[in-house]
Amino acid sequence: MRNKPARKLQELLRLPPGERVDLSRYDARATPGAPDGKQAAQAAADRMGKQLARLQERLWAAATAGDHRRVLLVLQGMDTSGKGGTVKHVIGQLNPSGCRITAFKAPTEEEREHDFLWRVRRALPGPGEIGIFDRSHYEDVLIARVRHLARPAEIGSRYGLINDFERSLAEDGVALVKCFLHLSYDEQRRRLLRRLDRPDKHWKFAPGDIDERALWPAYQEAYELALERCAAPYAPWYLVPADRRWYRDWAISRLLLERLRDLDPRYPEADFDVADCRERLLKQT
C-alpha cells in the first residue's frame, strides 16, 4: 500500500508560473499522488486532520511570541466544485478558534465604493491564524470578466494589482495556498441535478445557476487567464481535480500540511521563570 506520495503534492499540482494553461488538458477525475482508492485516502485525510490541528496550534502559539506568520487558503472553482465542502471537511478538522473564514458574495454597496481589494484586506488572517477564502479577489477577474462588470482595461489592470497585493502578503508572512477546484462540465450537471432531486438541497440551488453554467466556456477561459497570469513562486496556484470529493479533501489537506510543515512553527520558550511560578502557585492557599 502506497500511503505517502513519492514527491510533494505541491510539485505535482502546481501550475508553472507564466505558462499557458489549457484546462481541457486536465482530467477532473484524476487522482495524482493519492493513496490507492477512496478508503485509503479518507483514512489518510483523517490522520492529516490531526497533524494539521497540531501544526495549527504551534502556529498560533508562535504568534503569541511575535511570530507574524499565517496561512491563507484561497478556494476558487465553478459552482458545485466543492468550496463549501472543503471548508466543512478539511477546515472542520482544525480548531475553529484559529480559523478565519470568509465567503465572498456579490459585493455590497459599501464594498463597491472601494477598490476591489478593500474587502479582501479586511478579511485577512491575523498572525497565527489560518484564513480561508471561499471565493476571493479572483472573482474580480472571473465573473467580472465573463459578465462584463467592469471595463476591459480595468479588468486587464487587475492581474498586476493582484500580483502586487499577493507579493506584499507573502512579504508580510502570509503563506498563500491557492487552489483551483477543477470540475468537469458533466459532473457539474450531476451535482446540480442532485440538488434538484433532494428537497433538503433546494436551498443551495438558484435558477441563475443554470444561466451561469451556460457561460461555461467563457468561465474556463477566464480561469485559464487568471491561473496563468497570477501564479508566482510566492503565491502558487494548485490545480486540484475535483470530480471526486474524496480526492479533493485528501489533496487540499495534503497541500495545507506540506505548507505548514515548511513553515515549521515552534512553541515559544517561556519568557518567565517557570520554577519561580510553580513555587508561587504552591504557596497560595
Cα distance between residue 180 and residue 234, in whole Å: 16
Question: Does residue 110 interact with a second copy by CB under 8 A?
Answer: no
Cα distance between residue 100 and residue 130, in whole Å: 6
- Least Å distance, CB 256 to a second copy, is 14
Who's near 81: CB < 8 A, 6+ residues apart? 181, 182, 183, 188, 242
In the set 37, 121, 206, 261, which binds a second copy (CB under 8 A)? 206
What are residue 275's phi and psi, to 5 degrees? -65, -40
CA atoms within 13 A on the CB side of 224: 14
Considering the complex, state which of residue 118 and residue 234 has its C-beta at the smaller distance from a second copy.
118
CB atoms inside a 10 Å sphere around CB 141: 24
* Contact pattern from residue 122 through residue 141 relative to a second copy, giving x for each residue in contact according to CB under 8 A and a dash for the rest: ------------x-------
Considering the complex, state which of residue 148 and residue 202 has its C-beta at the smaller distance from a second copy.
202
- Largest CA-CA distance found in the chain, in angstroms, rounded: 73
Residue 201 in 3-state DSSP? Answer: helix
Considering the complex, state which of residue 209 and residue 258 has its C-beta at the smaller distance from a second copy.
209
CB atoms inside a 10 Å sphere around CB 192: 18
- Least Å distance, CB 151 to a second copy, is 30
In the set 196, 237, 250, 260, which binds a second copy (CB under 8 A)? 196
Considering the complex, state which of residue 47 and residue 189 has its C-beta at the smaller distance from a second copy.
189
In the numeric block, the cell 488572517 is attached to 125
The set of cell numbers assigned to 134 is 471561499
Question: Is the Cα dihedral 135, 141, 146, 147 positive or negative?
Answer: positive
Residues 64-103 that bind a second copy (CB under 8 A): 64-65, 84, 87-88, 91-92, 94-97, 99, 101, 103
Residue 175 in 3-state DSSP? Answer: strand
The set of cell numbers assigned to 161 is 494589482
Question: Does residue 263 interact with a second copy by CB under 8 A?
Answer: no
Cα distance between residue 47 and residue 27, in whole Å: 27
Considering the complex, state which of residue 103 and residue 161 has its C-beta at the smaller distance from a second copy.
103
How big is the site for a second copy, counted in residues (CB under 8 A)? 43
- Least Å distance, CB 58 to a second copy, is 8
Residues 35-64 that bind a second copy (CB under 8 A): 61, 64
Cα distance between residue 36 and residue 34, in whole Å: 6
- Least Å distance, CB 193 to a second copy, is 6
Considering the complex, state which of residue 33 and residue 128 has its C-beta at the smaller distance from a second copy.
128
Question: Does residue 284 interact with a second copy by CB under 8 A?
Answer: yes
In the set 109, 110, 152, 272, which binds a second copy (CB under 8 A)? 272
Contact positions vs a second copy (CB under 8 A): 61, 64-65, 84, 87-88, 91-92, 94-97, 99, 101, 103, 134, 189, 192-193, 196, 199-200, 202-207, 210, 213-214, 267-270, 272, 274, 277-278, 280-282, 284
